[in-house]
Structure 1
């Protein structure tokens, strides 16, 4: 089921507030009836995007990732801003790893007009998108297709990635811990992230602010192994952590712009 503009804004707002919103606050902000907001929240809950609690909503807590189709609509503006900044920084003729997730998908969409790259990926949406740019050579890993995630995973996939030495390794994560630990939802996701990190000259983490303090069970890496971190904006504790770990950060959508994007109701 597609989401309305208002429902997308509610999701983005929920992510910004740290994961809790009251129904009354949402109703007042959008200037519509309580019944209308109740219907919006019920539909978001039915799709697993939020959890209904007494008086409002929270982000769902789970050790499993949401489906790819659900993740596509969450924080879309932030992912698009990150994608544009990443693609603008990639020199013509360079080689790139693009890993799993919806942010790499947005990066591929932003690459459609790039003058030329070599891209190694296991992301089906990335490969299909880059087919539209004949100046990009795309190498797609083999392995087991994960229908819910629209990617390819497994030991064959990881082994394929290990065959390359790539200029720019671009990868996302399931979550970022308070101590800078980077976590994923499965061992095979973790193995893929580790292969990108090990076989890239420059390691680039892409993650919007909602990934901070998000739970996932498998440790993949740490912020101190990242050469650049592209994000929409940094929560204050994460900013301090990046400064402590000397991780260069590119903020692509400052918090003031995010707030402005939510100010207009459907």
Structure 2
């Protein structure tokens, strides 16, 4: 198979898994390690991937990837995370769901919940939950971001400050090794920070790809989160930090039931 045919598949694997390794790709394509290293170098020089030790990851930067592409990225993992998260959401409470494909997945899992009040700045979440007649829906105001149906800005944050939520379920664009939650849009960051301040309990839903990405704006630390739902175990240092912060970590594999780490 020529590199012309390998490159698109390498990119697809990277989008699906968040990272590719030289050894894994060599075994997948039945070529030498040197051939894969050349492929990854070519893709890195073209700005399609970012080289790391032993492989490559999706490139970091100051802008996010497209929303439809994010919807398809780690779709099975997001569904498993959403099921585990929704199982911990009781009936009869107020919940905030913010912008993102992971929170959309949680919304799908809340369609059978009863007596919920859901406040959201995510038009897609509201559209999904219209199908639940036992759910009261409130959309924040704000500037509509057409790319993903998000409502951002001062008006969204002001609406949020009028509430005290029993629970917030939020997502983020990236998680770094220090346990900081990161995003690309400073307006969205200010809204997320308002959500954290106005919530009695906070769940973060973030698949493993978020640990191989970066973004320029800091939202908060995992120390400020009650429970993280993800699909793979955390790096040992971050796992220890979460225990010190008393941040619960739930790993929900697409093929296994959720387990406490």
TM-score interval, smaller chain: 0.7 to 0.9
CA offset at residue 155 of structure 1? 0.7
**Match for residue 162 of structure 1?**
161
Alignment partners' CA distance in 2, 1:235 and 1:50: 26
Superimposed CA distance per residue, residues 82-136 of structure 1 (whole angstroms, 9 cap, x where no aligned partner): 1111111111111100001100010111112222311000111100000111111
CA offset at residue 241 of structure 1? 2.3
Alignment partners' CA distance in 1, 2:76 and 2:130: 24
Runs of 4+ in 1 over 4 A off after TM superposition: 6-9
Q: Aligned pair count?
A: 237
**Match for residue 64 of structure 1?**
63
SS at match of 2:111: helix
**Match for residue 242 of structure 1?**
242
Distance change (3 Å), C-alpha of 1:14 and 1:80 = closer
Query: Residue 129 of structure 2 contacts residue 135 of structure 2 at CA under 8 Å; is this kept in 1?
Result: yes
Alignment partners' CA distance in 2, 1:8 and 1:118: 40
**Match for residue 221 of structure 1?**
220
Alignment partners' CA distance in 2, 1:12 and 1:235: 20
**Match for residue 251 of structure 2?**
251
Matched, 1:94 2:85: no
SS at match of 1:142: coil
Alignment partners' CA distance in 2, 1:169 and 1:212: 21
Superimposed CA distance per residue, residues 127-173 of structure 1 (whole angstroms, 9 cap, x where no aligned partner): 00001111111101122111112211111111111111110011111
Distance change (3 Å), C-alpha of 1:8 and 1:93 = farther
CA offset at residue 20 of structure 1? 3.5
Alignment partners' CA distance in 1, 2:113 and 2:89: 9
| TM-score, normalised with respect to structure 2 | 0.80
Alignment partners' CA distance in 1, 2:179 and 2:120: 25
| TM-score, normalised with respect to structure 1 | 0.78
Distance change (3 Å), C-alpha of 1:154 and 1:26 = same
Distance change (3 Å), C-alpha of 1:213 and 1:13 = closer
Matched, 1:10 2:13: yes
Alignment partners' CA distance in 2, 1:218 and 1:109: 28
Query: Residue 143 of structure 1 contacts residue 156 of structure 1 at CA under 8 Å; is this kept in 2?
Result: yes
Superimposed CA distance per residue, residues 51-71 of structure 1 (whole angstroms, 9 cap, x where no aligned partner): 387xx8631221211121110
Query: Residue 14 of structure 1 contacts residue 21 of structure 1 at CA under 8 Å; is this kept in 2?
Result: no
Query: Residue 17 of structure 2 contacts residue 209 of structure 2 at CA under 8 Å; is this kept in 1?
Result: no
Alignment partners' CA distance in 2, 1:130 and 1:72: 18
Distance change (3 Å), C-alpha of 1:227 and 1:214 = same
Query: Residue 141 of structure 1 contacts residue 161 of structure 1 at CA under 8 Å; is this kept in 2?
Result: yes
Query: Residue 95 of structure 1 contacts residue 118 of structure 1 at CA under 8 Å; is this kept in 2?
Result: yes
**Match for residue 186 of structure 1?**
185
**Match for residue 264 of structure 1?**
none
